[in-house]
Structures are given as C-alpha cells and as structure tokens.
C-alpha cells in the first residue's frame, strides 16, 4: 500500500482546500523518514483570510438551534467511526505511533468528543434571577472566532477536543496543527463539511510557530486554546493578553505516580507502563516520576523489567507492533541527551538506554534523586524515573515539589489514604488505581505551570462561551432628579 498521504492542498479555508503561499512544509513518516506529503505554510495574508472567513460564518452558525449544531457534530462523529481504519492509518503515518494505538486512542477519542459536545449543545441554558418586581437572566453566548493550536503527539484528537466544544457553543475555529503532524486536521475539516457544517466554521492553516503567532494576534480571534510546551504557552498567553483574549493552556508536565506498599503490584506496574511508554512516552500527562514506597520498590522494578522485555517494537503499520519511533531526530536526540545526563548524574539504568535511529527504547532509571534533571525536567519521551520514599507525608511533599501540575496518580488499596493523598496533590487531573485514562466525559487540564482552563466534560463549555447578564425592569424608573 502506498504511503503517499498528500492532501488536495495544504490549507482548508471557507469550505475548500487552498494551497499555502508560505514556506515548504515536508511531512515525514517518523519510522522511515520518507516524505509522505509536501505541504506549504499559510502566508500572513492567508491566516487573516481564514480568520475573516470564520468571522463571517460564525453568526449564522451561532443563530442555529443548538440541536441542529449538535446534529452536525454527531454526524461528523459517525463519519469518523465509519472511516476509523483509514483515518488511523493516516494518523500512524503522520505521527509514527503504532496502528494498534491510533485505532483505539486518536480518532476514536475525537469522535467521542464530537458526539459528547454535540449532545451537550442543547442542554446549555441560562439562569433566571428573581429580583422582586424586576428580574434578571443570563445567556451563555459564544465567544466568536477561536484559535486552536496543536501539539504533534495526538494531532487529530487535539483538533477534535478543541473543535467539538467550540463549535457546539456556536463559535467558529481556525486551527493550526503542529508543523510535525499537519494531516489529521485537514481530514476533520473535510468531514465537518460532509456532515453539514457551513463553510468557514472550521478552517485549517498550516505552519510553524510564526504562523501560530500571527493567528493568536489576529483581530478576529477572541480565544486561543493551545496544546504545547510551557515556553510556548508563556508566549501565547502573553500575546493573547494584549487583546484580552480568553485562553485555554494545555501544557507540559512531570507528573508523579505514587505507589504505596499495599498496592496491587501487577496493576501498579501496568499503570506505570501506560504512564510512561504508550505513544513512545510522548504524552503530556505521563507519570514520569514514579515514587515507590520502600517495601515494594525492588519487586516493582523486577516485575517492570520482566514486562518491558516482552514489548514488540517495530513498524508502526504492523498491527502487532506495540512501540513505535520518536516523532523526529531532533526529539530523539533530546531524549538521548536526557538519558545520558541521568547516567552522568549517577542514576542507575534499570533498562533501556539510547537506542538507535528513530527508536529510543523504554528506559527506566532507579536510585534517582529529586534534584536530578531526569526528575525535574519534562523529557517527552519513554523515560521513567523511579524514586523511593518512606511514608505518605514525604511522598506528597516530594510529588508536589515541581513547577508543573498537570496530573498525578496514586496506587494503594487503602481508599481513605487514596482520597487524602489526591486531595493534597497539586495537579489538575488525578487517578486512583488507574493512570492516563482521559474519557471525554471528564474535565482534563493542569494547574501551576501546566496550564489553565479545562478541556472535555461540562467544564469545557465555560471555556468556549461567555455570560451575558440581562436586567429586566418591570415598572417605572425611579430617578432622584
């Protein structure tokens, strides 16, 4: 089967494919490095055009009955499900993630978001506030044109997680995927049109950081939702502040996973694997600081090594492959440098290491300390750092000793302790006896440097709408003079 993944054109504006007028943007299959598509960035003028088109289309979309908007999103979800195989293959080519993963985690989650927010659209209502003779009411109104900017690890899921609540609430969106993975968002744009969305409601522009920066400051843009790193988040938040734009920031993390002595060993090991090596470790919420209580640490590391020895690495398009390459050479080099720094700092390499070419194997460090770079910095690759602790207060204090606050996990059979510990953890999303499960029904997002705002769940509605309060005078107006 051909690996050519060339779309009709690079951008999607006002219901049609448009070729980019900016710099070349080659798309490489991470497994082989071969060029699978050749795109072009949007010019500044095309970014402005995309925003204008969205601004033109948005009022009529907002004026539709919410059930009608919801129906379009539900139809889009159904189309995605019908084409899941073909879309997942494209996602694998774009990201290098095993088809085994993309078939269940990427477009499937995107479809769930479209379905969820499609259903939720009609349930959003205001408040009636009695004031004696007079009264007031609130209206939840759309923001207008929202900009979505994505990272490369879950490109289509990110596009859907942003587009679904935005569109459900009557906004239009201009989306810029990561320059590493530009293909999925174009498919979403096409599918939305096929599902009955009016042209302009979801436009796609391509490009690197400068195109993103132009999008954030376009005068039509009322809100920016970014999924990316903390440094980019700082820049985008600052640029959005200039125009008092709303923001949602889904940024990086270095999340703790705390395993107490009484935990189910097999479940804790399984969760640590899912928390570090799924998508080759390229997941923002990964539990990369695994805190092991002293009584379980040795058994945990033995069992973890045994299970990791069985992992099937290889061609991501092979349905048997469980572990794929890193997105690109630059990222692989960064991960390798972090591994070397860990060894140089004196941490013990339990398994893994540098690997070869596009592949960095699942890597586990033990005997690490809190001040090592492998414990402090987000690596965004398959590198787990394990640390040991004596008791609960120590685990909580050390887990919180980070600027990040995206996620956290706790494994214990003592449910009183589990709830006490998650209440004390500084993280936006916590798991008890589970990890990295992010159903669309559940709000997701971070605290501290990991961001603000929430995606998914009913919470997302607030981040894609604004409240209007209406006071209704029912009698004569009293004035002192």
Ligand X SMILES: NC(=O)C1=CN([C@@H]2O[C@H](COP(=O)(O)OP(=O)(O)OC[C@H]3O[C@@H](n4cnc5c(N)ncnc54)[C@H](O)[C@@H]3O)[C@@H](O)[C@H]2O)C=CC1
Q: Around Cβ 417, how many Cβ atoms within 10 Å?
A: 15
CB of 420 to ligand X, least distance (A): 26
218 binds ligand X (CB under 6 A): no
292 exposure class (CB count in 10 Å sphere: 0-12, 13-18, 19+) = buried
Using the rule CB under 6 A, which residue among 229, 322, 400, 466 binds ligand X?
A: 229
The residue among 9, 76, 13 whose CA lies nearest residue 38 is 9
Least Cβ distance, residue 76 to ligand X (angstroms) = 22
CA of residue 402 relative to chain centroid, distance: 21
Burial of 213 (0-12, 13-18, 19+ CB in 10 A): middle
Measured from the CB atom, is 101 or 179 closer to ligand X? 179
| 228 lies in the site for ligand X, by CB under 6 A | yes
The two three-digit tokens of residue 146, written as one number: 């929202």
Output 179 or 392, the one with its CB closest to ligand X: 179
Closest approach of ligand X to the CB of residue 246, in Å: 15
The yes or no reply on residue 293 touching ligand X (CB under 6 A) is: no
Choose which of 42, 51, 113, 216 interacts with ligand X (CB under 6 A).
216
> What CA–CA distance (Å, rounded) separates 288 from 380?
9
Whose CA is closest to 177, among 195, 202, 151? 151
- The minimum distance between CB 212 and ligand X, in angstroms, equals 2
> Using CB under 6 A, which of the segments 5-13, 43-51, 230-238, 315-323 binds ligand X?
230-238
Distance of alpha carbon 39 from alpha carbon 155, whole angstroms: 16
The candidate with the shortest Cα–Cα distance to 115, out of 167, 155, 158, 156, is 167
Sheet holding 465-472, edge to edge: 128-131, 134-142, 465-472
For ligand X, which stretch binds (CB under 6 A), given 52-60, 222-230, 344-352, 369-377?
A: 222-230
For residues 242 and 213, the answer to whether their CB atoms sit within 8 Å is: no
DSSP secondary structure string for all residues of 51-112: HHHHHHHHHHHHHS-HHHHHHHHHHHHHHHHHTHHHHHHHHHHHH---HHHHHHHTHHHHHH
What string marks each residue from 175 to 194 as x (binds ligand X by CB under 6 A) or -? -x-xx---------------
Cβ 226 to ligand X shortest distance, Å? 6
Does residue 460 belong to the site contacting ligand X (CB under 6 A)? no
Tokens for 154, please give them.
Answer: 């879950």
- Report how far residue 59's alpha carbon sits from residue 54's, in angstroms, rounded to the nearest whole number: 9
Spell out the residues 6+ positions from residue 380 whose beta carbon is closer than 8 angstroms to its own.
153, 252, 281, 282, 284, 331, 334, 335
Q: Is residue 236 within 8 Å of 247, Cβ to Cβ?
A: yes
Q: Does 284 bind ligand X (CB under 6 A)?
A: yes
Which CB sits closer to ligand X, 288 or 293?
Answer: 288
Does the footprint of ligand X cover residue 307 (CB under 6 A)? no
* Of positions 182, 200, 212, 381, contacts ligand X by CB under 6 A: 212
**Hunting for tokens 């996602």 — which residue is that?**
91
Q: Of 159 and 301, which CB lies nearer to ligand X in the complex structure? A: 159
Which x/- pattern, by CB under 6 A, does the window 138-157 give for ligand X? -----------xxxxx----
- Report in angstroms how near the CB of residue 199 gets to ligand X at its nearest: 24
Nearer to ligand X, 66 or 165 (CB): 165
Residues contacting ligand X: total by CB under 6 A: 29
Which of 140, 208 has the CB closer to ligand X?
208
Q: For ligand X, what does the binding mask look like between residues 403 and 442, x meaning CB under 6 A?
A: ---x------------------------------------
> Cβ closer to ligand X: 69 or 97?
97
Non-local (6+) Cβ contacts of 44 within 8 A are: 214
Q: Among 5, 9, 213, 447, which residue sits at the site for ligand X (rule: CB under 6 A)?
A: 213
Q: Note whether 209 binds ligand X by CB under 6 A.
A: yes
Q: Which residue number, 199 or 209, has a Cβ lying nearer to ligand X?
A: 209
Find the Cα–Cα–Cα–Cα dihedral 69, 71, 73, 76, rounded to 10°. Answer: -140
43, 58, 206, 227: which one binds ligand X (CB under 6 A): 227
Cβ at position 336, least distance to ligand X in Å: 17
Catalytic site positions: 250
Q: Segment 243-272, which members bind ligand X (CB under 6 A)?
A: 250-253
The reply on whether position 325 binds ligand X by CB under 6 A is no
Name the residues that contact ligand X, by CB under 6 A.
149-153, 176, 178-179, 208-209, 212-213, 216, 227-229, 232, 235-236, 250-253, 284, 378, 380, 406, 446, 451
């Amino acid at each position: 089967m051909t690996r050519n993944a060339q779309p009709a054109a690079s951008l999607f504006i006002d219901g049609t494919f448009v070729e980019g007028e900016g710099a070349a943007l080659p798309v490489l299959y991470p497994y082989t490095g071969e060029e699978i598509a050749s795109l072009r960035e949007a010019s500044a003028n095309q970014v402005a055009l995309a925003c204008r088109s969205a601004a033109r289309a948005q009022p009529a979309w907002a004026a539709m009955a919410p059930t009608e908007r919801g129906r379009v999103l539900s139809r889009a979800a159904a189309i995605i499900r019908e084409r899941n195989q073909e879309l997942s293959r494209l996602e694998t080519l774009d990201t290098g993630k095993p088809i085994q993963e993309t078939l269940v985690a990427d477009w499937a989650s995107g479809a769930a978001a479209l379905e969820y927010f499609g259903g939720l659209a009609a349930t959003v209502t205001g408040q009636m506030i009695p004031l004696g003779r007079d009264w007031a009411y609130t209206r939840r109104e759309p923001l207008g044109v929202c900009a979505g900017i994505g990272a490369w690890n879950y490109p289509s899921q990110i596009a859907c997680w942003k587009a679904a609540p935005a569109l459900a609430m009557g906004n239009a969106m201009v989306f810029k995927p990561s320059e590493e993975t530009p293909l999925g968002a174009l498919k979403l744009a096409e599918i939305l049109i096929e599902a009955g969305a009016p042209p302009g409601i979801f436009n796609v522009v391509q490009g690197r950081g400068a195109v993103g920066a132009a999008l954030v400051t376009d005068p039509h843009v009322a809100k920016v939702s970014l999924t990316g790193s903390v440094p980019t988040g700082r820049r985008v938040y600052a640029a959005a502040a200039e125009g008092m734009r709303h923001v949602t920031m889904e940024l990086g993390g270095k999340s703790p996973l705390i395993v107490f002595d009484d935990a189910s060993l097999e479940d804790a090991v399984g969760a640590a694997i899912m928390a570090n090596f799924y998508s080759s470790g390229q997941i923002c919420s990964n539990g990369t600081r695994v805190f092991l209580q002293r009584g379980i640490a040795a058994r945990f590391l033995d069992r973890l090594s045994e299970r990791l020895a069985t992992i099937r690495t290889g061609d991501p398009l092979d349905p048997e492959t469980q572990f794929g390459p890193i997105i690109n050479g630059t990222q692989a080099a960064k991960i390798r440098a972090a591994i070397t720094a860990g060894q140089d700092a004196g941490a013990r390499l339990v398994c893994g290491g540098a690997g070869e070419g596009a592949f960095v194997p699942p890597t586990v460090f033990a005997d690490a300390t809190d001040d090592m770079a492998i414990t402090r910095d987000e690596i965004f690759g398959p590198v787990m750092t394990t640390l040991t602790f004596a008791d609960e207060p120590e685990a909580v204090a050390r887990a919180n000793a980070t600027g990040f606050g995206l996620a956290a996990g706790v494994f214990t059979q003592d449910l009183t302790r589990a709830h006490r510990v998650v209440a004390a953890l500084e993280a936006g999303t916590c798991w008890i006896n589970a990890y990295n499960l992010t159903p669309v029904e559940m709000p997701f997002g971070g605290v501290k440097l990991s961001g603000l705002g929430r995606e998914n769940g009913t919470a997302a509605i607030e981040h894609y709408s604004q409240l209007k309060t209406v006071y209704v005078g029912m009698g004569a107006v009293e004035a002192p003079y």
